[in-house]
Structure formats: C-alpha cells, structure tokens
C-alpha cells in the first residue's frame, strides 16, 4: 500500500507525465452524409422545400455542462492531542461521489473506519473499553470549483461534515452505547491530474488536503476540537454529451 501511495504522489507531481485538461473540445465523425429536406433521420423545419439546398455534413458531439465524478482513495486523519489520546490518528478509505455543472462540483464523501480506543472513557455511566471496535464515520457535503491549468486542475472546496461514532461489537461487550453526532465545517483543496480515455471521459490521480472545524467535546468533555486530513487516490470523470450536425464544405 505504501508503494502505491508513493507511486500516485509521484505521478501527480511529475509534470513530465502527460496530463490533459478537461477542455470542451468538439469531436466529429469521419463519416459524411447528405442532409436533405426530409430523410429517415432528419427533418428540416421552417424551411420551404424548394429553397433548401442539400449539403454534406458529419455528426459531432460537444461536452455538456453536466457530468459526474467518482473517487476512491485513502485518507489520513490527524486530531489534536486530546482526541488523539482516545482514538489516535488513523487512516480510512475515501469514497466520493460528485455531481458536476461545468467547473462547479457538488460532492458527497464517505469515510468509514474501525479503531480500538487508546484509553477508556465513560459515556452515560458506561465505560467503553479499549477492546471495543469503534467506527468513527465521517460524512462530508461540499461545493467546489475547478481551476484548470496546463497539467493540473486545482479544486478548492467548502462544506459541512457530520461525524458519527458507532460501536460495532456491542454483542461481544454485552452493552449498548450511543453517541451524539456532531456537525462542523470543512474546507480544503484537491489537485487532479486528468488523462483522457475517450472524448469526455477521464481518469485522474488526485491529492487532497483539508481542515475540519468540529467540536468533539460534544461527544465527551475529555476530547478536543478539529482535525486535519490528507488524501490520495484515483477518480473517474465523465461529462454528458450533446450531438449536433456540422456542415462541411
């Protein structure tokens, strides 16, 4: 896994590895056809038949403003000392679904993981032991904007995060635990290097850093606030297309 992370990081930073911007390039077929007033495929409207001159054309497609992006990566969360004493800094998979409108991104990020507490804490007079299996789940909702450069795309984002704690081995512990979910704010920036695989479909290597403003003292008074995270991964991005007829000489 470490080699994969270093490989993705090197690929992202190396400008010698050819990357592409998600430009709105028009793609046209090489096959021509004759446009007539009435055909099986095309009907010319609002043009008198007698005044219409047939012409040669090709089918073309251009990028729609709407699209989607799917990301999969690994993240590392770094807490302040008080929170770190309880659950430590930890890694987590990073699943991301993003709706696109041109350069605007509307994203949802899901980050699950399982840890064993480093120390025992009491919640509602129930002690959570060190051998408990605790899921610190993070759900992020955010909006971002893409700035495209020659080799890279820079995408700052801002949004809200919801942090949920779940104990998944309550049967083994013979005890039930409930924790309040806490909501906070997130901000950060993602760097993408895109590679076109087909017209308006891309894969990319990305790196992201972010900072979350959350108050874990709402879960327990012994905990602290906020956390920093970084992520590395790959993504698949596709824009929907619009087809049109292009007249040729």
Helix, strand or coil for residue 82?
Answer: helix
Q: What is the mean pLDDT of residues 125-147?
A: 96
Are 44 and 106 part of one and the same domain?
A: no
Are 166 and 221 part of one and the same domain?
A: yes
Q: What is the mean pLDDT of residues 164-179?
A: 94
- Is pLDDT of 43 > 80? no
Out of 12, 41, 61, pick the residue that ends a domain. 61
Compute the Cα dihedral for 32, 37, 43, 44 and give only its sign: positive
Query: Is there a domain that residue 247 lies in?
Result: no
DSSP 8-state code for residue 20: B
Tell me, rounded to whole angstroms, the distance of Cα 15 from its chain centroid: 22
Task: Report the CATH number that the domain containing residue 70 is assigned in CATH.
Answer: 2.40.160.20
Range of the domain at 166: 2-23+64-241
Are 56 and 166 part of one and the same domain?
A: no
Query: Is there a domain that residue 248 lies in?
Result: no
- Number of structural domains found in the chain: 2
pTM (two decimals)? 0.79
CA distance 204 to 1: 18
CA distance 223 to 14: 40
Tell me, rounded to whole angstroms, the distance of Cα 220 from its chain centroid: 31
Lowest-confidence range among 2-11, 34-43, 99-108, 192-201? Answer: 2-11
Query: Is there a domain that residue 246 lies in?
Result: no
The pLDDT, as a whole number, for residue 12 is 47
């Amino acid at each position: 896994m470490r080699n994969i992370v270093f490989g993705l990081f090197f690929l992202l930073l190396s400008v010698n590895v050819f990357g592409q911007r998600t430009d709105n390039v028009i793609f046209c077929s090489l096959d021509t056809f004759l446009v007539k007033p009435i055909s099986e495929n095309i009907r010319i409207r609002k043009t008198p038949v007698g005044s219409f001159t047939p012409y040669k054309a090709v089918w073309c497609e251009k990028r729609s403003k709407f699209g989607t992006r799917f990301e999969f990566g690994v993240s590392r969360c770094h807490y302040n000392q008080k929170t770190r004493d309880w659950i430590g800094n930890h890694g987590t998979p990073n699943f991301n679904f993003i709706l696109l409108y041109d350069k605007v991104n509307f994203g949802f990020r899901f980050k699950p993981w399982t840890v064993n507490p480093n120390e025992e804490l009491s919640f509602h007079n129930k002690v959570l032991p060190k051998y408990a299996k605790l899921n610190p789940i993070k759900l992020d909702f955010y909006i971002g904007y893409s700035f495209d450069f020659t080799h890279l795309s820079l995408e700052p984002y801002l949004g809200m995060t919801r942090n949920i704690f779940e104990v998944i081995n309550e049967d083994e512990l013979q005890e039930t635990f409930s924790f309040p979910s806490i909501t906070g704010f997130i901000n950060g920036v993602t760097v993408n290097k895109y590679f076109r695989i087909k017209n308006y479909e891309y894969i990319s290597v990305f790196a992201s850093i972010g900072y979350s403003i959350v108050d874990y003292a709402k879960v327990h008074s012994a905990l602290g606030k906020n956390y920093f995270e970084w992520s590395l991964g790959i993504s698949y991005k596709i824009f929907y297309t619009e087809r049109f007829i292009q007249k040729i000489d």
